[in-house]
Structure 1
């Protein structure tokens, strides 16, 4: 697969994540781990249909090294578990901003990969885009307080988990994307266990709630992870990392269109910063490719 096509598919994951907030709101009052269990089960089922049709189910299961299983399940379940607990132990705005360090960390960590070169424009672009995302994620936040240090620490681990999963996945680019199917099922099982330990079961009621849950499983918590796997393994990982900061902006725009939030000057400024940052990262990638 060509690098440009893989990068384009990776962008598809970012677009799907833009409706994550809307569908999560629609799934209320289902608790986080229960919602994760249901959505990942649907996401696994989506992948299973393609894996079974391709006749590669058995070979994918038997040929995948244990370390890849640990990386995949740890990345998907670990990220969500740490994120949920971080939001419980610290204010959502501040914890969310810290957790959203993962695109910047992807850009920085990618420089350690073979055949990858981290240029100054990648770093500058990622920092500018992070500033734009920060305006959105932390708007209305009360500021950082040491009383919430445990929650902040979990948010840092959350960012490290997803960035580590994304970058290290590139080292196993020969592993077919179909394996994400079974990462989703394993994450669903672990989410069920966490749900039984920490939450009370809520039976979804209403068409909108069920549509939101199915939509999550088919899109942001389903197809997005397959597209992301292709992108980070075969595409321009630095550009994808920076472009990922568009997710909170697009998510906010979706909420505006849905009438859940209002458009503000802050959002406009964030859009400019994210666009400038992504443009600089793209320019850095173009210069890198022109010199190879």
Structure 2
């Protein structure tokens, strides 16, 4: 019975991770429909929608028995990392081509693997370092031509996408390491992130605020309900019940799916560099997760 239970949990974790992967892949396409809203207000809106989407999961999960460090990590660290990840992601997609920014952001699984190995074993395996080098070479395929042509806007976008990758890697490691389940706490974490993001957007508002149009509002809500609502909970469940190496490897398909969605929708041009960079990123992440 114990083996059957483990088998069921592993399949559940894979299914939950696949739900998160498909929803995350839709984020760049939905963001292209919300271009009338600045990145920070868009991030605040999506995080608020994510908090509302996860509200049914709320239940009292005592955290008072945790050390002060863990409580700070849950109630300060996770909201700040979520704010950094989502805001940087949207800014990166505005300053650089959306498919390129999504690809660079999703180098985060290899960063997650390197971080997990370092903090768990005190060292990083050579296979993981080699995988990271291959994945980052994929990102360089996109970034180097932009640097050579002096397009500072795209370079800044790539920088924000890389920052989003770092935030997601740290967020995933904290999700896996916390001694309590995060799903019941997710509405409050996302709501806190939304408030932080809205506060960060105020200095740029310059005293004016206009409501987004109908299509922009729907796109922002859809991003919050799916990629940053249901997907966040599904990913937490996947990390909680599955193996980090297996679950992390499923996320490698996100940039490929995201780029495919954009190209099929006619919102991105299939540049020759994109499939090469995608193959290098996915291949590098698979190499990094090899046993």
- Please classify the TM superposition score into its range, dividing by the shorter chain length: 0.7 to 0.9
In the alignment, structure 1 residue 188 sits paired with structure 2 residue 190: no
1:79 is matched with which residue: 66, 81, 85?
A: 85
RMSD across aligned C-alpha pairs, in angstroms? 3.7
Matched-pair contact (CA < 8 Å) for 1:60–1:176? no
Alignment partner, residue 270 of structure 2: 263
1:188-267 → structure 2 map (5 Å cutoff): 188-199=194-205, 200-206=208-214, 208-267=215-274
Give the TM-score, by structure 1 length. Answer: 0.75
Mapped to 1, the partners of 2:26 and 2:110 lie a distance apart of 21
* Count of aligned residue pairs for this structure pair: 275
* Aligned position for 1:289: none
Give 5+ residue unaligned stretches, structure 2.
1-5
Bigger drift between 173-182 and 216-225 goes to 173-182
Deviations 1:180-230 (A, max 9, x none): 221111011112212222235332113x32321121011112112112222
Residues 139 and 112 (structure 1), Cα distance of their counterparts in 2 relative to 1, 3 Å cut: closer
Deviations 1:145-179 (A, max 9, x none): 7x899988766654433322211322214334221
5+ residue gaps in structure 1? 286-292
**Conserved 8 A contact 1:167-1:232:** no
Write out per-residue CA displacement over residues 229-269 of structure 1, whole angstroms, 9 at most, x where no aligned residue.
22333323234444434322211100111111233443443
Question: What secondary structure sits across from 2:54 in the alignment?
Answer: helix
Aligned to 1:105: 111
